[in-house]
Structures are given as structure tokens and as C-alpha cells.
Chains A and B, each alone.
Chain A
Amino acid sequence: MQESTFSVIPLLAVLLPWASLLAILAFPKRAERLRLWLCFLGSLATFGVVLSLLPGVLDGNTYTIKLASVVESLEMRLTVDTLGYYFALVVAFLWMLATVYSMSYIDHKHNRFFAFMAMCESFMLGCAFSANMFTYFIFYEMMTFGSYPLIIHEETTMARRAGYKYLVYAIAAGTVLFFAIVAHYFWGDGQLGFGSYGVLSLEFASRAALMTVFFTYLAGFGVKAAIMPLHGWVPDAHPAAPSPASALLSGVILKAGAFGIIRVCFNVFGADLLRELEVYVVMASLACITIVVASVFALTQDNLKRRLAYSSIGQVSYIILGLAMLAHDGALGGVMHLAHHALMKGCLFLCAGVILVKTGKKNISEMAGIGYQLPITMICFSVAALAMMGTPPSVGFVTKWLLGSGSLQAGLPVYIVVLLASALLNAAYFLPIIYIAFFRWEGDEVDEHGERHHPKLVFGKEADHKLVVPVVVLAALVVIVGIWSNVPGFPYSLVSKVVNVIFP
């Protein structure tokens, strides 16, 4: 990678969330509100710090700071490159909104929840800024264990069971990943860093060796990224976790796996090596299967958050599919989808949370007429859901368009069929929700003349502002980012820089 300047800002970004943790410890239990606001300030400040790097990153600078080193080639280092910065921005932004949302949503054991939220944010930013696989793995594992208390926060039997399943998957995945990194270190001539064109090559290691490294990486990260045979924990964990945590799970934590795969593809193996090894075929087929099968599963779910979870499984595989195309537009679409999906699915999960808080309803079949009760929420839900189907103008459309174009560039139009099928299935499982919410209502109101009326739209009696504002912001961004993707700091402006280097 190019020359990088020393900077403490990445470290600051990683450490700032811990300030919230200190705030929780430092202030007495009585000052609940004060503590919550301090947590919010912590996440706001983190986002601010991350944002402050934007001009420099857009100029193509990289910033780096060494934390510790074991031996020369095995060091913990934070580096802000464009790709990592892009992910960090998504993390910090979504985390800020989720924190605001949680201030109202979480009703017991605030301390634990906010403490682990803050810790996980720190670890996620550490993942985003990692300069090599070693550092990435360290932060990734810490994040894995740090997110466990978020999942079981409700402490119901379901949550415990989901948490158990999560841990089993996570530990197995961590072990496989560890193996992958050792193998990478061994066959990669001690090079664990990220190179712009990949660092591994067939000079040092045999084909079979590199294939082993690749597939162990894919399996290790694939658990978090919920590639199909490894997705088992996702549909359980999402409904069990509190809604802001599910939003983060879907929006960011699943992406940590996907981001790992992006790093492996771009910066460890490089496009040429992947093409030579022909592993992209496996990747693509797994992704296609996941996209279609997960959508079919989603159709059958009545629990809203479970349906959204299956949808996430499918959507994260868009990223994998985009990478596997090994074409400019495909990679662009795939990597951009990381942010796009975070916005859309974050919005959807937060909406599900509002519904749960206000009405206590979890299942879609119970939600008849809910759009009149919670108009703003459900409008935002509809916007995000339509975006998931790929309706223009929205981020979902941008993704689908780029992926379609990428599959043509790759000369494999079959992917377009998969994308279309997925769009149809998305429509099939999202439209009924919108329909039920707005166009079907139970117990019609009958006025004194005996005439039946629609229930009235009730604005202003929506939930707490802290719940509604993040939802609205996300829904607005789903459209805005879809239209003006090239605004500095928006996905296209960052991702295109990376992808243009790899696929000129």
C-alpha cells in the first residue's frame, strides 16, 4: 500500500467508545438519564472523529498507527485505508443511531447493554481499521464475544437458546478462522498485511495450499456473513435480540464477516489470483443458493424479525456474489451494498422495534391496520422495504443495477436471473407486510350512522422521538444515498476509488 502518515485518530476512534463505558461506571445509578446521554455523546463523538478523516481519505491518504507487535511480521496496527474507512463510517453512523434508539428502547439492565454496545463499537471500528489479518482477527473475536450479551439481553429462554447457538457457531468459526490465519501466515511467507492487489501468490505456495487458505477463510467469515449452510444462528439471534441490537447485527455485525471476505478477496488474494484459482465459482454458487433459498425461507416466516433475518441472510450474499463476479461493476455493487443494506435493514429492524414497543406485536399476521396506528414508522418501513425490492430511486436499486451490469461484464447473465428471482421473492415477502399494515384492518370503526370507516391516520401520537428519529433518518438516507451516491462520504465516492484500482 502507499505511504501512510502516522496519526492517532484511528486509535482515538477505537478508544472513544470506551469513554461511554467509563461514564457508566463513573456516574451513580441515580443519574440514569445523564449516563444515557453521555453514552449517546460518546457514540456521536466517535462518529465525529471518524468523519473528520473523510477529507484526507478522499484525497487518497492513509493513516496508520502501530499498537503493539509480537514479532516483526506479526503486529497490531491500525491503518485507515479507503475500504476500511468506508466500513468504519457505516459502523459509526449506524451505531450512533442505534444508541439513540436504545436510549428509549432498552428498559432494563441499561448498564450492561450500553457497556457492551460501546465495547462492540470499539471492536468493530478496530476491525474496520485493521491493517492486517492478525489485528482483524483479534478485534473480530473480541467483537464476537462482546456481542453475546447484546443478543441475550432480554434473558428469555428463547434469547438464551439463541445466544447459545450463536456462541457455538462463533467459536467454531473463530477456530476455523484461526487455522486460516496460521495457514495464511505459513504459506504467505509471513505476510499478513493487506496489499492493494493481494499479497499471496503461487510463487510461495502450491495451489492446494492457497485453496485451503481461501476456503478456511470463507468458512470462518462465512458464519458471520451467514453464507447458507453456515447461517443457522442468524434467524434465531435476530428475533431474540432487542431491536437496536438486531439492527446492528444485521446492519454491521454480519457485515464484519462480509468485510472479512472482501479483505480476503481484494487485499489478501487479489482478483488475479482468485481468477487463477477458480475459487470464485464456488463463492458465486454459494451466494446464489443463499440468495434464493433464504428468500424462500423468508416467505414462510410469520415472525417479522425472523423474516427480516432471513432477508438479511440473502442480502449479505449479494456482497459475496458481487465479489465473485470479479468484474468492476460487480465488485462496486457488492461492496456498496454493504452500506446500502445496513441502511435498509437497520431501518426495517428499528421499525420492527417500534411496532414491538408500541403494540407488543411480533407476528406479521397480527399487524393488520398497524399503518394507521404508526403511520410514520410504517411509511419508513415501506420505503425501506421497497428499496429492498430494488425500486428506483433507492439504494437497493443502485445495488441491483450495478450487480446486473457486473454480471454482464463478467459474461455470466445467469446471475441476472438470480437477481431477478431474488427481487421477486423480496417483493413477495415484503409487499404483504405493507399490504397488511395499510390495507387490511380488523374491527372496522362503525360511526353512529352505521357506516364503516377506515381507521384514521393518527400522526403525532407515534412513539418516543428517540425511537422515531433514527427510523426516519435511515429511511430518508435510503432514498438520498440512492439518488446522490457520489456525494463525498457516500458509498460511491469511497468504494469507486478502491474498485477502480483493482479493476481498472
Chain B
Amino acid sequence: MGAWRHFPIFMITLPLLGAVLLPFLGYARERWVPYAALLPLGTSTLLGLLLMGRIPADGFLSYHLGGWEPPFGIEIRLDYVGLFLMLVVCGITFLALVYSRRYIGKEVSGGQRTAYYVLYLLLSGAMLGFVATGDIFNLFVFMEILALSSYALVAITGNRNPVRAAFKYILMGAPSSIMVLLAVGFLYSATGTLNMADLARRIAESGYTEVLIVSYILLVVGFGVKAALFPLHMWLPDAHSIAPSPISALLSGLLVEVCAFALVRITFSVFTLRSSDLVMGTADAVGVAAVAAVLYGGIMAILQKDLKMMIAYSTVSHVGYIFLGITAFTAEGLTGAMYHMLDHGLAKACLFLCAGNFIYLKGYRRIEDLKGAWSQMPWTCFAFALASLSVIGIPPTAGFISKWYLILGNVKGGKWLYAVVLLAGSILAAVYCLRVIYYMFFQAGKEGAWEESWRDAPPAMLAPVWTLSLATLFFGIFSSLLIPSLLKAAAYLL
């Protein structure tokens, strides 16, 4: 019983606490806010790293809030997979926050900057709590916090397009939240408990009654909207491309994944009866939707003219990857999905931040404008290229490793067609990514598009970008750090 048992709750509450305290600081010293915001997230990251070796791959840490025993009190239930995702969240939010200072300083007007950081910390804390919680109503609450703060962050500049995109997001997001709440109500009415482990036990006893079936489908649809699974993705391209770049990075790199992870939780920790038609039938439906997502997202990304729009559609496609990994119902597939959350998070965040660099320095948003960008912004362009390789899944980047496991998982699950779709998806990814790289490196820029002086983004913006892109390489080469434990953890979840 060491102090480390308390780490998870600190990881969640520190950013939330920071969000509460920041406005006061903002009132006194607005200049300090960007630095102060780093503190809670940095601490959370550190705590997560300290926790890393302590949670076994085939076990979990159960923490009881306020000392109340689980079925009554709220439980935080952190297994290896959850901690893994929490660390991904911490790391990427931290880096995007470092990036934010310069970017937001330019894009958001003075009075709203503190609000930006407050919402940012709320979003981060909510994502962490969302991953860790073991209570299904708590899951809903965290989901609402993260949804609310993300609506507000998309619209933070208050300009025409961002507000409209955020409103579109609300119009899809809010009903989906209500569906989740309704599903929670159904679950409670059928079982009389809200604790996930307890729910799993009671569901296993009772079998699937109609109420449970309806609630499962509602949960899948509800989280599916938030995770932007194919037919429910309409809000994503607008919101992700129009939001300020660090926020796009969070939304694309983390939020959709965290929501996909919620489905993993629901499917593997709550509705544990594998034999039933319910889970398998839904999985088939989700699989079909994911196939459509991979192909549709990829094709739409190819058609885009706007760089951030392209990256956003690529996210639609990659959400399909993650879901194909989940629906394989094999340890390899789940490992692939989890690892894809890592490398997609890193790579997508990196791509969005690179796109942010172009907007910050030159105001360029269209892909065509990037012709010859290499000559003036080499660091940004190289980081972009590296992250793109990971998105395509070219070895030795992390994207390759996750693609390997995704495909292997589907092959082991006997789903050859899905394996082929995944391959097709990576071909599409190659098309849209290489087009941008080609423009950047091998095309001459338009006259006067790039001034003579050599001016890349400031170091405070390049450092996070490069950390992210090198991380995709690092986790590709040293995937042995995580993969064996993830495989074991995935097998345990199944």
C-alpha cells in the first residue's frame, strides 16, 4: 500500500484543480498563465510514468474514491491498457500545451487566453478521468466535461467559421451524450448498479435482456458519434480543421481515441458475454462501418484542398483502423488498436501542429500553398514528412507496428477482408500524405510565396513538433517496450 496507489486520482484531479485555479492567476498575471498551465499536466505525466512499472499487464489498480467500497462508491479502475492511454493523453496534451503559448498568443485575443488554458486543462483532466474511471455514470460526467470544453475550445476565437463548426459539433454531440445517459439509465434499471465490474458480474448472471441490448446499442451509437465512426462523423472534419491547431491536435489525436477506448471498456469490461449475438452482431455492424470509414475517410482526404481538412479526414479513416482492430476480437487486433491510438495520436498531433506552423507564420492553409515550403521551413517540413510516414505506416515508424498488429489480428480472427481493407487504407494514406510531401519538397514555390530569409517557426513551437515526430520513430523502433505487455493486457481483457 504505497503512495503510488493515489497517483491515478492525482493525475486526474491535478489538471481539473489547475483549471479551477487558473482564472485567479489570469486575473493577476495573465502572462504567467501559459507556464502555470504546464505545471499540473507535467506533474500528471510524471506521476503516470512513475506508475508505469507498477501496474501489471494482467491486472488492475482499483482505487476507491473517499474510501467507499466499489458498488457504492466511485471506483477508479486502472489497468495496463488504461494507464497506457492515460500516458498518451498526458504526453500529447503537455506537448500541445507547450506549443499553444505562441500560437494562441497570436490567434486568440487577450481576454480569452486564460479561458483557453482553463478549458484546455478541463479537457485534459476529463480525458484522463474518462479513461480511468470504473463507474459508468462517472464515465458520462467526464464525457460531458470533455465534450463541453471541446465545444468551447473549437469556438474559442469567436469567429464565424469556428462558431459554426462548434455548433455543428454540439448538434451531433449533445444528443449522443443524452443517448449515453439514457443507456446508463437502462443499465441501472436492469441491474441496479453503476460500477462497471459489478455491472459485468450482474450482466453475466442475467444474460442479455432487451433493456441491455438497447442500452448497448445506445452506448455504441453514443460513443460512436464522439469517436466519429463513419456515418456519425459529419461534425469531425469541420470542427477539427477549423479549431486552433493545438486543439485540432487534441481532438484528432486524443479525443476520438479516448472515446473509442470507452467502447473498448464497455465491450470488454461490461458486456463480457462473448458468445451472444448481441456483441458479435454489433461488432459486425461496427466492422462494416469501420470499413466504410477507412475507405471514405481516405478518399475524402485525397479530395481535400485544405491541409487541415485533409488531416481531419485522415482521422476519420484512422478511427476506422482502430475500430477494425477492436472488432477483430483477438489479442493482436486489440493490441494493434491500442498501439494505433498511441501512434495515431502522436502522428496526427504532429501533423496538425505542423499545419499550425504554416498558419502561424504565413497564414497558409491550402495544400497548394505549401509548394516549395521546404526551402524556408525545413524543420517543420521534415517533421511533417516523418509523421506522414507513420500515418501511412511505413517501417520503421510506429504506424507500421500498429498496422502489423491490426492486420495480424484480423487475419487471426479470420477476417481477411478487413485485413485487405486496412492495406487499402494505407494505400489511400500514402496517396494523400505523399502528395503534400511532394509539394513541400519537390515543387518550386510560387513567386513571392516564401520570402528569401530563412525563417522557420520559433523553437517553442518546433520543439513539441519534433518531439512528437521523433516519438513516432522511437515507438516504431523500440516497440518492444510496450508491445509484449500490451499483448498480455489485451489477452487479459479478452
Contact = CB atoms under 8 A, between A and B. Distances in A.
Do A and B touch (CB < 8 Å)?
Answer: yes
Contact of A71 (B400, B427, B430, B483): B483
Interface in B473-494: 477-480, 483-484, 487
A174 B478 CA distance: 22
Given A68-B478, A175-B423, A182-B404, A142 B411 contact: no
A149 B438 CA distance: 10
Nearest to B442: A152
A121 interface: no
Contact of B480 (A69, A142, A182, A186): A69
A367 B411 CA distance: 56
A28 B11 CA distance: 48
B480 A141 contact: no
Interface in A136-194: 137-138, 141-142, 145, 149, 152, 155, 160, 163, 167, 171-172, 174-175, 178-179, 182-183, 185-186
A501 interface: no
A1 interface: no
A171 B411 contact: no
B381 to A, nearest CB: 13
Given A141-B395, A142-B394, A155-B442, A179 B419 contact: yes
B480 A70 contact: yes
B71 interface: no
Nearest to A179: B423
**Best-surrounded residue of A68, A76, A142, A182 (most CB of chain B within 10 A):** A182
Contacts of B431: 171
A160 B430 contact: no
Interface string B294-321: 0000000000000000000000000000
Interface string B459-484: 00000000000000000011110011
A54 B384 CA distance: 41
Nearest to B420: A179
A167 B442 contact: no
Contact of B400 (A138, A149, A155, A167): A138
Interface in A22-74: 67-71, 74
B477 A68 contact: yes
A422 B92 CA distance: 60
B423 A68 contact: no
A171 B407 contact: no
Nearest to B482: A70
A179 B442 CA distance: 30
Nearest to A75: B480
A175 B426 contact: yes
Given A141-B395, A142-B395, A155-B442, A186 B411 contact: yes
Contact of B408 (A68, A167, A171, A182): A182
A116 B400 CA distance: 22
B117 to A, nearest CB: 38
B442 to A, nearest CB: 6
How many A residues touch the partner, as a band? 20 to 34
Nearest to B480: A69
Contacts of A137: 395
Contacts of A185: 408
B442 A71 contact: no
B445 interface: no
A172 B395 CA distance: 15
Contact of A68 (B411, B427, B480, B487): B480
Contacts of A142: 394-396
A167 B434 contact: yes
A145 B477 contact: no
**Best-surrounded residue of B395, B407, B430 (most CB of chain A within 10 A):** B395
Interface string B417-453: 0011001101100110010000000100000000000
B87 interface: no
A363 B370 CA distance: 37
Contacts of A174: 394
B401 interface: yes
Contacts of A70: 401, 404, 479-480, 483
B358 to A, nearest CB: 22
A41 to B, nearest CB: 26
B170 to A, nearest CB: 39
A69 B484 CA distance: 10
A68 B423 CA distance: 25
Contacts of A141: 394-395
B442 A182 contact: no
B101 interface: no
B483 A171 contact: no
Contacts of B420: 179
Nearest to B410: A182
Nearest to A72: B484
Given A68-B478, A70-B479, A160-B442, A182 B419 contact: yes
A137 B389 CA distance: 15
B412 interface: yes
A186 B407 CA distance: 10
Contacts of B442: 149, 152, 155, 160, 163
Interface in B353-401: 389, 394-396, 400-401
A175 B480 contact: no
B480 A71 contact: yes
Contacts of A76: 396, 477
B407 A178 contact: yes
A188 to B, nearest CB: 12
Nearest to B484: A71
B51 to A, nearest CB: 23
A145 B388 CA distance: 13
Contacts of B394: 141-142, 145, 174
A178 B408 CA distance: 11
**Best-surrounded residue of A68, A167, A172 (most CB of chain B within 10 A):** A68
Interface of A: 67-71, 74, 76, 137-138, 141-142, 145, 149, 152, 155, 160, 163, 167, 171-172, 174-175, 178-179, 182-183, 185-186
Interface of B: 389, 394-396, 400-401, 403-404, 407-408, 411-412, 419-420, 423-424, 426-427, 430-431, 434, 442, 477-480, 483-484, 487
9 contacts: A70-B480, A71-B484, A76-B477, A145-B389, A145-B394, A167-B434, A171-B427, A179-B407, A182-B419
Given A145-B394, A178-B423, A178-B426, 4 more contacts: A71-B483, A155-B442, A160-B442, A171-B434
* 10 closest cross-chain pairs (CB), A and B: A138-B395, A171-B430, A175-B423, A70-B479, A69-B480, A182-B407, A186-B411, A70-B483, A141-B395, A138-B396
